[in-house]
Chains A and B, each alone.
Chain A
Amino acid sequence: KQEVTQIPAALSVPEGENLVLNCSFTDSAIYNLQWFRQDPGKGLTSLLLIQSSQREQTSGRLNASLDKSSGRSTLYIAASQPGDSATYLCVLLNQAGTALIFGKGTTLSVSS
């Protein structure tokens, strides 16, 4: 059974700092990997999607990498801002493409 683990569970940084969130998973048979953002009381927003054949994706200040063979992904956030404060979820799409499997998330707090 696929398990997704995220480290750290929580992170507090001052504004402007660069940071890395880590994700590991147990089964490399995935369709794709996504990083989502969850704000309190709100829905889930996809930030980046990496297909299983890709190694990384970039969007603005965000860069996500995927190493399927080692079962790892990282989300790099450059020049963090208070508006980046949220829970970041590492999410795998199963090989059949029918179900998302979520990590528990890293809760990020960026102070001004």
Chain B
Amino acid sequence: EPEVTQTPSHQVTQMGQEVILRCVPISNHLYFYWYRQILGQKVEFLVSFYNNEISEKSEIFDDQFSVERPDGSNFTLKIRSTKLEDSAMYFCASSGQLGETQYFGPGTRLLVL
């Protein structure tokens, strides 16, 4: 069964460093998403992406964040200068069409020291 994959599973970085989180969505899906979950808190929407453009972004998704689909398979989230409060589990998701079920990857646990 097709699934969303994410790499790395864990990343530790120093405050101020740039990180890139990678995702491979399900191959025939057209809509891509990033969410995050700070430990003990609810999952929060970051950004949705379609047709090589951001469709919607939340207040969390400020200028420190960017997304890219560099090729036909990968979808990346870049955090330009990490802060302590960026420590969280980051989930990538994809869906075939707007409004359809979003399929989630296993997540990348980011720890900023």
Q: How many residues of A contact B (CB 8 A)?
A: 21
| Contact for A97 among B41, B42, B44, B99, CB less than 8 A | B99
Contact A93 B45 (CB under 8 A): no
Identity of the chain A residue whose Cβ is nearest the Cβ of B56 in the assembled complex: A98
Chain A residues 68 to 104 lying within 8 A of chain B, measured CB to CB, are 89, 93, 96-104
Contacts of A46 on B, CB cut-off 8 Å? 101-103
B96 to chain A, nearest CB (A): 12
Given contacts A42-B106, A99-B58, contact A34 B43 (CB under 8 A): no
Identity of the chain B residue whose Cβ is nearest the Cβ of A91 in the assembled complex: B43
Q: How many residues of B contact A (CB 8 A)?
A: 23
Contacts of A98 on B, CB cut-off 8 Å? 48, 55-56, 98
Contacts of B43 on A, CB cut-off 8 Å? 44, 89, 100, 102
Contacts of A99 on B, CB cut-off 8 Å? 33, 45, 48, 56, 58
The CA-CA distance from A100 to B35 in the complex, in Å, is 9
Contacts of A21 on B, CB cut-off 8 Å? none
Contact A44 B45 (CB under 8 A): no
Contact B44 A102 (CB under 8 A): yes
Q: Is the interface of A mostly helix, strand, loop or mixed?
A: strand
| Contact for A44 among B56, B91, B98, B99, CB less than 8 A | B91
The CA-CA distance from A100 to B93 in the complex, in Å, is 11
Contact A43 B107 (CB under 8 A): yes
Contact A43 B105 (CB under 8 A): yes
Taking Cβ atoms with an 8 Å cutoff, the residues of B that contact A are 4, 33, 35, 41-45, 48, 55-56, 58, 91, 93, 98-99, 101-107
Taking Cβ atoms with an 8 Å cutoff, the residues of A that contact B are 31-32, 34, 42-46, 49, 89, 93, 96-105
